[in-house]
Amino acid sequence: LNDPQSIIDADRAHVWHHLIQHKAFETAAPRIIVEGKGLRVWDIAGKEYLDAVSGGVWTVNVGYGRASIADAVRDQLVRLNYFANTAGSIPGALFAERLTAKMPGLTRVYFSNSGSEANEKVFKMVRQIAHRHHGGRKSKILYRERDYHGTTFGALSASGQNERTAQYGPLLPGFVAVPHALEYRRQQRGANYGEAAADAIEEVILREGPDTIGAICLEPITAGGGVITPPDGYWQRVEEICRRHGILIHIDEVVCGLGRTGAWFGYQHYGVRPDFVTMAKGVASGYAAISCTVTSEAIFELFKDAPDDPLSHFRDISTFGGCASGPAAALENLRIIEDERLVENSARQGERLIANLRALQDKHPAIGDVRGKGLFAGVELVADRQSREPADEKLVQAVVAECGAQGVIIGSTNRSITGFNNTLCLAPALIATPDDIDAITETIGRAIGRVFG
Shortest-Cβ-distance residue relative to ligand PMP: 115
**Residue 151 lies near ligand PMP (rule: CB under 6 A):** yes
Residue 300 CA to residue 314 CA, distance in Å, equals 11
Q: Specify the residue, 293 or 349, whose C-beta has the smaller distance to ligand PMP.
A: 293
**Residue 148 lies near ligand PMP (rule: CB under 6 A):** yes
Provide long-range contacts, Cβ within 8 A and 24+ apart, for 1-7. 4/32, 4/44, 4/45, 7/32, 7/44
Q: Specify the residue, 122 or 451, whose C-beta has the smaller distance to ligand PMP.
A: 122
Q: Are 140 and 151 in contact (CB under 8 A)?
A: no
Stretch that binds ligand PMP, among 113-121, 122-130, 261-269, 360-368 (CB under 6 A): 113-121
**Residue 375 lies near ligand PMP (rule: CB under 6 A):** no
Q: Specify the residue, 303 or 420, whose C-beta has the smaller distance to ligand PMP.
A: 420
Question: How open is the CA angle 333-283-433, to the nearest 5 degrees?
Answer: 60
Stretch that binds ligand PMP, among 13-21, 24-32, 75-83, 248-256 (CB under 6 A): 248-256
Stretch that binds ligand PMP, among 30-38, 251-259, 328-336, 426-434 (CB under 6 A): 251-259
- C-alpha to C-alpha distances, 428 to 331, 376, 423, nearest whole angstrom: 21, 8, 16
Interface pattern 278-317 for ligand PMP (x via CB under 6 A): --x-------------------------------------
Stretch that binds ligand PMP, among 143-151, 235-243, 260-268, 328-336 (CB under 6 A): 143-151
Any idea how long the chain is? 453
Residue 429 CA to residue 360 CA, distance in Å, equals 22
**Residue 90 lies near ligand PMP (rule: CB under 6 A):** no
Nearest of 433, 429, 428, 430 to residue 444 by alpha carbon = 428
Site for ligand PMP in 44-83 (CB under 6 A): 57
Q: Treating both helix axes as pointing N-terminal to C-terminal, what angle do 325-339 and 90-100 enclose, rounded to 10 degrees? A: 40
The number of helix segments (H) and strand segments (E) in the chain equals: 14, 16
**Residue 178 lies near ligand PMP (rule: CB under 6 A):** no
Residue 338 CA to residue 336 CA, distance in Å, equals 5
Contacts of 209 (CB under 8 A, 6+ apart): none
C-beta of 148: minimal distance to ligand PMP in Å? 5
C-beta of 279: minimal distance to ligand PMP in Å? 9
C-beta of 58: minimal distance to ligand PMP in Å? 8
Interface pattern 192-231 for ligand PMP (x via CB under 6 A): ---------------------------x---xx-------
Question: How open is the CA angle 398-450-225, to the nearest 5 degrees?
Answer: 40
C-beta of 453: minimal distance to ligand PMP in Å? 33
Query: Bridge partners of 380?
Result: 369, 423
Q: Specify the residue, 59 or 345, whose C-beta has the smaller distance to ligand PMP.
A: 59
Q: Specify the residue, 115 or 390, whose C-beta has the smaller distance to ligand PMP.
A: 115
Q: Are 343 and 228 in contact (CB under 8 A)?
A: no
User: Binding residue for ligand PMP (CB under 6 A) from 149, 269, 313, 373?
Assistant: 149
Q: Specify the residue, 53 or 430, whose C-beta has the smaller distance to ligand PMP.
A: 53
**Residue 252 lies near ligand PMP (rule: CB under 6 A):** yes
Residue 177 CA to residue 147 CA, distance in Å, equals 10
Query: Bridge partners of 41?
Result: 36, 49
C-beta of 153: minimal distance to ligand PMP in Å? 12
**Residue 153 lies near ligand PMP (rule: CB under 6 A):** no
Q: Please give the size of the binding site for ligand PMP, defined by CB under 6 A.
A: 16
Residue 401 CA to residue 224 CA, distance in Å, equals 18
Residue 42 CA to residue 194 CA, distance in Å, equals 43
C-beta of 452: minimal distance to ligand PMP in Å? 28
Residues near ligand PMP (CB under 6 A) are 57, 114-116, 119, 148-151, 219, 223-224, 252, 254-255, 280
